[in-house]
Amino acid sequence: MANILVVDDELGIRDLLSEILNDEGHQVELAENAAQARAARVRSRPDLVLLDIWMPDTDGVTLLKEWSSGGLLTMPVIMMSGHATIDTAVEATKIGAMAFLEKPITLQKLLKAVEQGLVKSAGRKPLATPAALLHAVDMTVEAAMTGQALPVAVDLGPQATQSFLLEKPLRDARDEFEKAYFEFHLAKEGGSMTRVAEKTGLERTHLYRKLKQLGVDLTRGKRAA
């Protein structure tokens, strides 16, 4: 997953965007003004920036110009505003902004813009590839054929096909199945609670309660991603 910088002077907006992006498995850094944004950009080298236009010290368009003229616009920037005009949005795009989101920002538009931005991000870290797993399997086969010690087992994560012992009380068997079911979907969706909720047909609040009740490790899918 990616490292995303959110720059907005409104605490509520920062908290909301941070919660959504964290649920999607991303690392999120927050800044409430241009000064903090400059420092965060140097410190964490974000893969993408969500930048508010209207801020008290230096507005977002000015900061965007600063990064562009200084050769620091090395990551996609998505502008945000609830009061900007079309001219402002066009100006930001000409300077180098990848997209413009109008507040209040809908979940669908936010996730779509972030996904498109990360595809274009040259600094995006690749996910673990199947080739790495195949290499581990090859090492295991070679070791078995030559009599060498077997390598440490690779955790492939929850699998789509599993077996369950049915000689158990119904409640225990059901909880075991549900836990495996949710762990599988969390791993498949990279720890994204939003996508797991959509996939399983549960509301996020209900999903959170269910996972905690079953003792599901909510960080496992994010670590795997």
At 80, is the secondary structure helix, strand, or coil?
strand
> pLDDT tens-digit profile of 109-166?
999 999 999 998 754 444 444 454 445 445 544 554 555 554 554 455 666 666 667 7
Of the listed ranges 9-13, 30-34, 132-136, the one predicted with least confidence:
132-136
Nearest to 182 by CA among 215, 222, 155: 215
Residue 205 contacts residue 191 (beta carbons within 8 Å): no
* E-assigned strand segments in the chain: 3-7, 27-31, 48-52, 77-81, 99-102
pLDDT tens-place string over residues 163-187: 667 777 888 778 888 888 888 888 8
E-state strands within 16-139: 27-31, 48-52, 77-81, 99-102
Q: Note whether 51 and 9 are within 8 A (CB).
A: no
Taking alpha carbons only, the member of 41, 34, 35, 59 closest to residue 3 is 41
Look-up: residue for tokens 């490292």? 3
For the whole model, what pTM was predicted?
A: 0.59
pLDDT tens by residue, 34-57: 999 999 999 989 999 999 999 988
